[in-house]
């Protein structure tokens, strides 16, 4: 069980050969991840991954639709592609997979003329859909008018936050009508087994504890009164949580409702629980597995390129990573060595050397090449500015500019061109092209010049 996340951070997959449950790094989006536009693209791209049996499952935002994808011993396959994007406005979605079932809630924002809508997700929520069913289908659309924006699923129930009417809804399997839960939409509920857990609200939308109730009777089993930032409910009613402002993880259960603490060594961003294990993750991409039985720690995952969420199941841990532009899903069986991940950051491309010449149509071409040792590739934006002078050392004039994005694997090249303005071109004798590159992920900059021959 993993808490729902609305990622504000999308795409086709390779047809993979049948895979086992062993370690693997799976290229997402057919190796061609959706482009990142500096300062603009903060829309969600993918949700997950989740471990379900021997499969790893995630959702990716392809052009025009949302695809739920599974990869495992039966190969890679689309579980569902029926949820379509209604338009160019920003889309939000939330996938949850637990206890052999999955749920997907999605909606989009109607921009209504707001020029910043697609960048900041401003606008009016609209077009709510919720898909629900066993992992291998069939799926059904949940009948609700409350505008469900989050998804949390268990074997016999579903719970979500309502944006239109406010509050929360709890749906049981079968024909029973949904039940409304009191409380704020800032309190996303979780369901697991026969239990439901809800954060306890405090000032400034912060959580000051978590309450565990029986799902059918809604009577309180126990509550934990401590400031938390995240929590995860297990089918036996146990709950793990990250303590706010401390480097500690805590857990409680119906049998032992007191707070049991374990120092993780850093302030924990999110937690995932599975059986007797609790996964705690830092902002820097470190995941530690804490064994509740003896408080011991297993070998940690350390991946600064990790994005999105992560999941635990048995001895396996899964997470998504985007070291540069390409996205992959990693599955690691902790009984084996961690798989080779490759690089953790974009590499600056080589812009070449020597003088440039003006070609046909007054265009100047610059070839950029991603170095052979760039493990994560090269991706970013390169700008060209052509400056000309009438005599050596004289005043310079900007006579052309352009900017293009690039996304290259190690050893690949691309050509970027700038066109010079025709007027008065014959009067200029010397010049140069200023080349500026900004990498997409780590925002590293590079500025170089190459001489330009006009004669």
Q: What is the DSSP string of 334-364?
A: TTSPPPP---SS--PPB---S-EE--GGGEE
Q: What is the pLDDT, as a whole number, of residue 165?
A: 81
Name the one residue in this structure whose structure tokens are 């086992």.
Answer: 20
- Compute CA 268 distance to the chain's CA centroid, rounded to the nearest angstrom: 18
pLDDT at site 112:
65
Q: Specify the pLDDT at position 197.
A: 95
Q: Can you state the percent helix, strand and coil of the chain, rounding each to 5?
A: 5, 50, 45
- Contacts with 143 (C-beta within 8 Å, 6 or more apart), sequence order: none
Q: Is 161 helix (H, G, I), strand (E, B) or coil?
A: strand
Across the beta sheet with 286-291, what order do the strands follow? 270-274, 277-281, 286-291, 301-302
Domain with CATH 2.130.10.10 in the chain: 24-333
Dist. CA 57–CA 134, nearest whole Å: 13
Torsion angles phi and psi, residue 118, rounded to 5: -70, -20
Q: Are 55 and 135 in contact (CB under 8 A)?
A: yes
pTM over 0.85: no
Gap between the Cα atoms of 90 and 109, Å rounded: 6
Cα–Cα distances (Å) from 333 to 22, 119, 174, 278, 314, in that order, read 6, 38, 37, 15, 9
Collect all residues with Cβ–Cβ distance below 8 Å to 3 and sequence separation of at least 6.
Answer: 152, 188, 190, 230, 231, 232, 270
Reference 351, options 336, 342, 364, 332; nearest CA is 364
* DSSP H or E segment with residue 88: none
Q: Residues 276, 290: contact at Cβ < 8 Å?
A: no
Does the domain made of 356-453 have the CATH classification 2.60.40.10?
Answer: yes
- Distance (Å, whole) CA 144 – CA 361: 60
Q: Rg of the chain over CA atoms, in angstroms? A: 26
What is the tens place of the pLDDT at every residue in 137-170? Answer: 899 998 888 899 899 999 999 999 988 888 889 9
Q: Give the CATH H-level superfamily of domain 24-333.
A: YVTN repeat-like/Quinoprotein amine dehydrogenase (2.130.10.10)
Pick from 262, 317, 250: which is nearest to 287 by CA? 317
Distance CA 446, CA 225 (A): 51
The stretches in the chain having pLDDT less than 70 are 1-21, 30-44, 86-90, 111-123, 185, 392-393, 441-443, 455
Alpha carbon distance, N-terminus to C-terminus of the chain: 69
27-54 pLDDT, tens digit per residue, is: 777 655 555 543 334 446 788 999 999 9
| CA distance linking residue 59 with residue 49, whole number of Å | 8
For the chain, where do the domains classified as CATH 2.60.40.10 start and end?
356-453
Contact yes or no for 242/249 (Cβ under 8 A) = yes
Measure Cα distances from 374 to 36, 118, 342, 407, 447 in Å: 19, 32, 9, 12, 19
Q: Which two tokens stand for residue 280?
A: 């705690």
Report how far residue 244's alpha carbon sits from residue 4's, in angstroms, rounded to the nearest whole number. Answer: 19
Confidence at residue 154, expressed as pLDDT on a 0 to 100 scale: 93
């Amino acid at each position: 069980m993993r808490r729902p996340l609305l990622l504000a951070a999308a795409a086709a997959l390779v047809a993979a050969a049948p895979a086992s449950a062993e370690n693997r790094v799976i290229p997402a989006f057919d190796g061609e991840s959706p482009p990142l536009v500096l300062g603009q693209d903060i829309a969600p791209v993918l949700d997950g991954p989740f471990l379900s049996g021997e499969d790893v499952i995630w959702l990716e935002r392809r052009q025009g639709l949302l695809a739920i994808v599974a990869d495992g011993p039966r190969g890679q396959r689309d579980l569902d592609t029926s949820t379509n994007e209604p338009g160019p406005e920003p889309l939000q979605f939330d996938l949850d997979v637990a206890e052999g079932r999955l749920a997907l809630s999605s909606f989009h924002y109607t921009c209504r003329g707001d020029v910043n809508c697609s960048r900041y997700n401003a606008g009016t929520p609209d077009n709510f859909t919720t898909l629900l069913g066993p992992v291998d289908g069939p799926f059904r659309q949940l009948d609700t008018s409350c505008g469900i924006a989050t998804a949390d699923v268990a074997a016999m129930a579903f719970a979500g936050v309502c944006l239109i009417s406010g509050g929360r809804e709890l749906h049981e399997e079968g024909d029973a009508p949904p039940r409304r839960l009191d409380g704020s939409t800032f309190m996303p509920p979780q369901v697991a087994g026969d239990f439901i857990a809800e954060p306890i609200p405090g000032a400034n939308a912060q959580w000051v504890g978590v309450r565990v109730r029986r799902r059918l009777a809604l009577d309180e089993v126990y509550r934990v009164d401590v400031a938390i930032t995240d929590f995860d409910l297990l089918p036996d009613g146990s709950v793990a949580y990250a303590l706010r402002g401390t480097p500690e993880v805590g857990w409680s259960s119906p049998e032992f409702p007191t707070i049991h603490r374990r120092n993780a060594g850093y302030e924990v961003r999110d937690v995932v629980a599975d059986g007797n294990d609790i996964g705690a993750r830092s902002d820097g991409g470190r995941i530690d597995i804490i064994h509740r039985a003896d408080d011991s720690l297993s070998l940690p995952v350390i991946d600064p390129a990790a994005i999105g969420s992560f999941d635990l199941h048995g001895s396996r841990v899964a997470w998504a990573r985007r070291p540069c532009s390409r996205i992959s899903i990693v599955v690691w069986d902790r009984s084996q060595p961690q798989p080779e991940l490759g690089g953790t950051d974009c590499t600056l491309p080589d812009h070449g050397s020597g003088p440039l010449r003006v070609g046909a149509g007054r265009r100047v071409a610059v070839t950029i090449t991603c170095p052979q040792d760039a493990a994560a590739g090269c991706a970013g934006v390169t700008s060209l500015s052509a400056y000309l002078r009438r005599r050596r050392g004289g005043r310079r004039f900007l006579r052309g500019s352009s900017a293009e994005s690039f996304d290259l694997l190690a050893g690949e090249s691309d050509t970027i061109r700038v066109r010079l303005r025709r007027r008065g071109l014959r009067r200029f004798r010397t010049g140069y092209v200023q080349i500026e590159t900004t990498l997409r992920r780590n925002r590293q900059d590079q500025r170089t010049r190459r001489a330009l021959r006009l004669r």
